[in-house]
Structure formats: C-alpha cells, structure tokens
Amino acid sequence: MGRLAEWRRIARAHPAVVDALLAAALFVAGLLPVNPPGAPLTLAAVLLAAIGSGALAVRRRHPLPVLALTTVSVLLAQLAGVARGPMVLTVAIAAYTVATRADRRTAAVAGLVGALAVGAAAITTLGVAGLDPAVVVLLLWFGVAVAVGDAVRSRRAYVAVREERGRRAERIRAEEALRRVAEEPTEPAPSLNRLDALVEGFSAGQPVRWTVAGQPRPLPTEVDVAAYQIIQESLTNARRHAPGAAVAVRLRYDPDGVAIEVRDTGAEPSPSPSPSPSPSPSPSPSAGLGLPGLRERAEAVGGTFTAGPRPNGGWSVRAELPAAEEQAE
C-alpha cells in the first residue's frame, strides 16, 4: 500500500509524464498482432495508431478534441481493415477523461456518440449483427469508461467541497480570533476608575447605591483589577439570587489598602397561601456559587475575603486588599 500511494503521489505531481507514457504504451500495444489475428501491420495502421494514442498525451487539457480524434482514427482503421484491438482502448480512455472533466450530460452524449460510431463501424466491417457479443462488449467498454469517469469526477467535486469548507471554516476562525483580539486592544481594562459605569449598568434592573470613603488614589494594577472584579461578581450574585433587592456598594481607601463591602437587603419572600411563621432569609449564592473565585481574587493579592448572610436578612460580601500608599504606581 505504501508503494502504491507513492506511485499515486508521483502520478499526481507529473500528469504530463504519465499521459506521455500511457500514449507510448498504447501505441506499442496497437502494433501487436492481436484481435483480429493476422491484421496487416501497414503504414496506415502505424500512422492511425500513432495519431490515436499520441492524442492521449494532451487528454487532460483538451478532452473533447482528443475523444473526437481517437474516435476518428479508430473508425478509419476499421474501415481500412487495419484496426487492432488495443486501438479501441484509446477511445475508451478518452471517453473516461471527458467524464472526469465535463459535466455528466456532456460526458454521456460524447461517450454515446463515440460508442455508436465505433460500434456501427465494427458491424459494417465485420459483417455481424448488432447484438453480436463482440459489438456488445465494445459498447460496454464505453459505458464502463464513462461511468468510472463520472464517479471520479463526483468524488473529486465532493473532496473539493470538503476542502473548501475546511478552508472557509479556518478562515472564519482566524477572522473571529482577530476580531476578539481587536475588541480586547479597544475594551477598557477592569479598574475602579470605571466603577460608576459598572454600577450604572447594574442599576437598570436593581437599585444600587454606592459610596466612596477616604481619598481615592492609584492602586497597583493587580489590586485595582481584583477590587473591580470582586464588586462586579458580587453585583452579579445579588442580581441572580436577590433580584429587585436594594444593593449597597461601599469602597473605602485606607492608608494600608482598600476595603470593599457589597450588601443586599435580600430577596422578597415568595407569596404563600398558608401563613408562614417568619420570612425566609435571603438565599445564599447557592452553596457559595462564585464565592471561591472571589476569595481567590482577594487572596491572590494578599487580601482577605468573607461572605455570609446578614442578621436582618440579605447577603454581605467583604474584602480587604493591601495597597500601601508607597506601593501605588
């Protein structure tokens, strides 16, 4: 299998050489004394064999003219009584080539015309009936050649479509990656400087109040990003688990760092047909949903993090992140 695959690779890389070798092989075969036995090897036989087989050297570039030329050369050889069996192969190969290059209708019509012409000439010169086995086999050669060529063409078209889809998908993925990268040089980085925009975005569906204590100052980048993301995810959890509840955000700048507190008043109790002894407490973020990530963000910069229910209902998140004034960049 490995050697066969290597030969196929070489043949695909050098199609002109393959066609020239095929033409030479069929020319030699057309001169052999076979079918009919004893057919004279005349100058006309040599010339017609050379024309028919030689045309195959350009069969890929000119499939229809090559089919016409090979058909005419075989017809002349039949009428002159110098036709030899292997010469018919040139027409079958030409018909196969047309089927691999042209559309199905063109290939069928061209193959049928060639088959009928060669078959009629065979009936005339051999003096046999139309359904003579020799004539039937001759026609079958053309049918098989066209059918195989059409199958090869269909397979090539299928592979080409698959490859084009693959290239298109790869191009789309590359363009999408470039678009995402472009959106990330254009999107502002998380920072407490954008806290007002963050709160405003959440205030659309939930009352959010925020205050800042102390003297705001630039923070180290990792602390600035961590503080922003803790507030962002705390607001997200409040919207998810206590929709409609009032939320308060408090940010305090201290000499040693920043303190963050995000608290909500808790979700409204669900109406119940039977009296309830006491209002249900605000649900926690589903067994700490999102809390591990918040804690990791705080601890990654050397800070602390706590979260839990408030005594009067609701939920509270607190974080303290170190950022001494002399560390600010």
- pLDDT at res. 129: 64
- Tens digit of each residue's pLDDT (9 = 90 or more) over 123-164: 877 766 666 776 777 778 788 888 898 899 899 889 989 988
User: Which two structure tokens, joined as six digits, stand for 169?
Assistant: 């998908």
Omega before 281 within 30 of 0, i.e. cis: no
Asked if 316 contacts 308 with a C-beta cutoff of 8 angstroms, the reply is yes
Residue whose tokens read 């109790």:
269
Q: Is 165 left (phi over 0), alpha (psi -120 to 50) or beta?
A: alpha
- Separation CA 71–CA 148 (nearest Å): 19
The pTM for the full model equals: 0.49
Would you say how long the chain is, in residues?
329
Which residues face 261 on adjacent strands?
250, 318
- pLDDT at res. 144: 87
- Separation CA 249–CA 196 (nearest Å): 11
Start-to-end C-alpha separation, the chain? 67
Q: Which domains does the chain have, with CATH numbers?
A: 2-165 (no CATH), 192-265+283-327 (3.30.565.10)
Nearest to 36 by CA among 86, 1, 72: 86
Q: At what angle do helices 2-13 and 15-30 cross, to 10 degrees?
A: 100
Handedness of CA 230, 231, 235, 236 (dihedral sign): negative
Asked if 294 contacts 300 with a C-beta cutoff of 8 angstroms, the reply is no
- pLDDT at res. 83: 73
- pLDDT at res. 282: 43
Report the side by side order of strands in the sheet with 257-264.
208-213, 247-254, 257-264, 315-322, 304-309
- pLDDT at res. 190: 85
- pLDDT at res. 183: 66
Kindly give the parts of the chain with pLDDT less than 70: 1-2, 33-40, 85, 127-131, 134, 181, 183-184, 186-187, 268-289, 326-329
- pLDDT at res. 74: 86
- pLDDT at res. 250: 95
Which residues fall within 8 angstroms of residue 272, CB to CB, at 6 or more apart?
none
DSSP string, 212-265: EES------HHHHHHHHHHHHHHHHHHHHHSTT--EEEEEEEETTEEEEEEEE-
- pLDDT at res. 304: 95
Residue whose tokens read 């980085």:
189
- pLDDT at res. 34: 54
- pLDDT at res. 259: 96
